[in-house]
Amino acid sequence: NAGVMQNPRHLVRRRGQEARLRCSPMKGHSHVYWYRQLPEEGLKFMVYLQKENIIDESGMPKERFSAEFPKEGPSILRIQQVVRGDSAAYFCASSHGQGGNYGYTFGSGTRLTVV
Amino acid sequence: AQTVTQSQPEMSVQEAETVTLSCTYDTSESDYYLFWYKQPPSRQMILVIRQEAYKQQNATENRFSVNFQKAAKSFSLKISDSQLGDAAMYFCAYRINNDMRFGAGTRLTVKP
């Protein structure tokens, strides 16, 4: 079991470009969560998705950010027209079910640097 | 709103000694779950230990144990016989349903 796979590991974008971050959940997991981590801070919830559905996007900025989890393929977090403040580590986690004692399994994160 | 507070930005422990990392949280819920995650320099988030709020017995995983005080909303992590490999950022987390909130973390240094 390969665990949660995120790619790329590092991503550099110029201001105004688009960033696409990919996350493949653990085999058998149908719930995906995206978190953002700024330097020296904890993880901040962004969005929670199940296959083809966004369940909770309360932590995601209303503009420039979008997320999807298609029926086939990885979950994608897209940031359009990136700005320097978007520089952070973005983590994806997956779980087998919602709530309860289902632990999250995290990927290794994508470090986005906007220059 | 649920918040998680880790009041110790940094902690240091001598190898083989014991250290306790503190965590408090604020919630009006009665049924929830608490976690400690470890984040080494590799950035991988590793689950260390979990606790169900409805269980009075403190969780234990080898050298890691918690002191869960539900009334005080406190969830501290004790690391016994500290090893060099324990050096990392430690995050306390609270979860109810799909909402998991993290504290700001405690950076643990282990001195040889």
Residue B16 near residue B81 (C-beta atoms within 8 A) = yes
**Who among B43, B101, B104 is closest to A89 (CB)?**
B43
Sorting pLDDT into bands at 50, 70 and 90, what band is B43? Answer: confident
**B3-111 CATH:** 2.60.40.10
Q: Find chain A residues with C-beta within 8 A of B47's C-beta.
A: 103-105
User: Where exactly are the structural domains of chain B?
Assistant: 3-111
What is the Cα–Cα distance from B23 to B68, expressed in whole angstroms?
Answer: 10
Sorting pLDDT into bands at 50, 70 and 90, what band is B30? Answer: confident
Bridge partners (DSSP) listed for residue A106: A93
DSSP string, B8-72: -SEEEEETTS-EEE--EEE-S-SS-EEEEEEE-TT---EEEEEEETT--SPPEETTEEEEEETTT
Q: What is the pLDDT of residue A98?
A: 61
Name the average pLDDT for chain A.
Answer: 91
Sorting pLDDT into bands at 50, 70 and 90, what band is B41? Answer: confident
pLDDT tens column, A41-91: 889 999 999 988 999 999 999 999 999 999 889 999 999 999 999 999 999
Q: What is the pLDDT of residue A99?
A: 54
Average pLDDT over residues B62-75: 96
Q: What is the pLDDT of residue B96?
A: 81
What is the Cα–Cα distance from A102 to B1, expressed in whole angstroms?
Answer: 22
Sorting pLDDT into bands at 50, 70 and 90, what band is B18? Answer: very high
The minimum CA-CA distance between B34 and chain A, rounded to whole Å, is: 9
Tokens of B80: 């016994």
- What percentage of chain B carries pLDDT values higher than 70? 98
The minimum CA-CA distance between A103 and chain B, rounded to whole Å, is: 8
Q: What is the pLDDT of residue B2?
A: 62
Query: How many Cβ atoms are within 10 Å of B21's Cβ, its own excluded?
Result: 23
Average pLDDT over residues B4-26: 96
